[in-house]
Amino acid sequence: MSLIATPLSVRNSVLKTRLVMAPMATGRANEDGLVTRNLCDYYHRRAKAGGLGAIIVEHAFIHPQGRLAPNQLSIATDDCIEGLSQLVGSIHEPFGGTLAICQLTHAGSNALPADLSNGLVAPSACIHPGHKRSGNTGLVPHALTSHEIHELTDCFCEAAQRAEAAGFDGVELHAAHGYLLDQFYSPLTNHRDDEYGPQSIENRTRFLCETIQRVRESVGEIFLIAVRFGPCDYAPNGAVLEDGPQAAVLLEQAGADIIDVSGGMFNFSAHELRPPGFFRESSTAIHAAIHIPVLTAGGVHLPQEAEWLLQTGATDLVGIGRLLMRQPDWAAKAISSLCQVGVL
């Protein structure tokens, strides 16, 4: 019995297939971060081609100080809602059934805000360890006070409410790839000595768990909350794979509906990771520890590889990134090719 085209129920929604378009920055928003026709057309093409249970729209910044790049999508103010609702329309209409999820992010010490006069923020006053590679400012950030952490939790909630007002089916909190929520999780960037510090997994996930809980209270019952989580930094003294399952249990208890397992501090791949499913070791361990669905992306090239990840218990949903950038109809073709060879 194959799984790739088997629907999956999550909360009150149904993903019609197990293939999900992974969030990928396109830089197609305008200079204020507002949705453009070009951005809508890009997502429309992929939704129209079919085969996808959900599309996770690229990272949208929740606060101007957390912007990562020029022309990044914004969800930081109410004037973004109108364009975002057109974007949702380009995914929902008239294909029915592909869920639209918006990724919410704050880049923390990795940010490149349009206005640098307020500096950068992070868990601790240390330069981002990946700054040479990412080309960010390399500035020493301001260590957030707990009051400022609570204010940013409010910003995530307001962004989630904007996503809901625009018609999205859910949001994905970006807590991977070295951005702010991941900077709290990673011992490489978190040197605090308060309840948000690195002393325990509860403390490392506290900001993220509080954000999940507050977002849950701020949106409707059926609205989905996914978390893109980077359990492992693949670096000396960084976050380790073994802590991932315990952390994921805390995210589930806080109210997450899907855990999207990806990479930690240094991006979405690592030299030692082999496809398909760069993070399948982490995702398999997390899958065994929690009761909500797991999603993972990375290095899937063939439909059979996606099916293999599902069949071997590595994940419930397979994220597809660069293939869909190059080939908008990849998911539809993947599903029909498995049908033709009689796998489905």
| Cα-based distances in Å from 114 to 66, 99, 199 | 10, 31, 34
Residues 8, 297, 331, 335: which binds ligand FMN (CB under 6 A)?
Answer: 297
Q: Is 61 in the site for ligand FMN (CB under 6 A)?
A: no
If the CB atoms of residues 106 and 177 are measured against ligand FMN, the closer one turns out to be 177
Rounded to whole angstroms, how far apart are CA atoms 111 and 131?
A: 10
Query: What does the CA dihedral 74, 75, 81, 83 come to, rounded to 10 degrees?
Result: 20
Rounded to whole angstroms, how far apart are CA atoms 286 and 101?
A: 22
Q: Is 182 in the site for ligand FMN (CB under 6 A)?
A: no
Q: Is 60 in the site for ligand FMN (CB under 6 A)?
A: no
Rounded to whole angstroms, how far apart are CA atoms 109 and 143?
A: 10
Rounded to whole angstroms, how far apart are CA atoms 13 and 99?
A: 8
Rounded to whole angstroms, how far apart are CA atoms 165 and 220?
A: 10
Contact 4/214 with Cβ under 8 angstroms?
no
If the CB atoms of residues 192 and 282 are measured against ligand FMN, the closer one turns out to be 282
Q: Is 295 in the site for ligand FMN (CB under 6 A)?
A: no
Alpha-carbon torsion 36, 38, 39, 44, what sign?
Answer: positive
Q: Is 320 in the site for ligand FMN (CB under 6 A)?
A: yes
CB of 227 to ligand FMN, least distance (A): 11
Q: Is 280 in the site for ligand FMN (CB under 6 A)?
A: no
Strands 294-297, 19-21: pairing is: unpaired
Q: Per-residue string for binding with ligand FMN, 228-267, x by CB under 6 A?
A: x---------------------------------x-----
Please identify, among the stretches 79-87, 129-137, 198-206, 298-306, the one whose residues bind ligand FMN according to the rule CB under 6 A.
Answer: 298-306
Q: Is 300 in the site for ligand FMN (CB under 6 A)?
A: yes
14 SS3 class: strand
CB atoms within 10 A of CB 52: 27
The DSSP code sequence of 147-176 is HHHHHHHHHHHHHHHHHHHTT-SEEEEEE-
Q: Is 22 in the site for ligand FMN (CB under 6 A)?
A: yes
Which residues are paired to 101 by β-bridges? 56, 170
Q: Is 327 in the site for ligand FMN (CB under 6 A)?
A: no
Contact 174/153 with Cβ under 8 angstroms?
no
CB of 35 to ligand FMN, least distance (A): 15
* Cα 117 to the center of its chain, rounded Å: 28
Rounded to whole angstroms, how far apart are CA atoms 219 and 156?
A: 11
CB of 344 to ligand FMN, least distance (A): 22
Q: Is 113 in the site for ligand FMN (CB under 6 A)?
A: no
CB of 221 to ligand FMN, least distance (A): 26
Q: Is 332 in the site for ligand FMN (CB under 6 A)?
A: no
If the CB atoms of residues 192 and 293 are measured against ligand FMN, the closer one turns out to be 293
Q: Is 59 in the site for ligand FMN (CB under 6 A)?
A: yes
Rounded to whole angstroms, how far apart are CA atoms 17 and 310?
A: 12
Residues designated catalytic: 179
Q: Is 296 in the site for ligand FMN (CB under 6 A)?
A: no
Q: Is 23 in the site for ligand FMN (CB under 6 A)?
A: yes
Q: Is 67 in the site for ligand FMN (CB under 6 A)?
A: no
Please identify, among the stretches 28-36, 88-96, 242-250, 293-301, the one whose residues bind ligand FMN according to the rule CB under 6 A.
Answer: 293-301
Q: Restricting to residues 71-110, which ones interact with ligand FMN according to CB under 6 A?
A: 103
Residues 298, 310, 316, 328: which binds ligand FMN (CB under 6 A)?
Answer: 298
- Interface ranges with ligand FMN (CB under 6 A): 22-25, 58-59, 103, 174, 177, 228, 262, 268, 297-300, 320-323
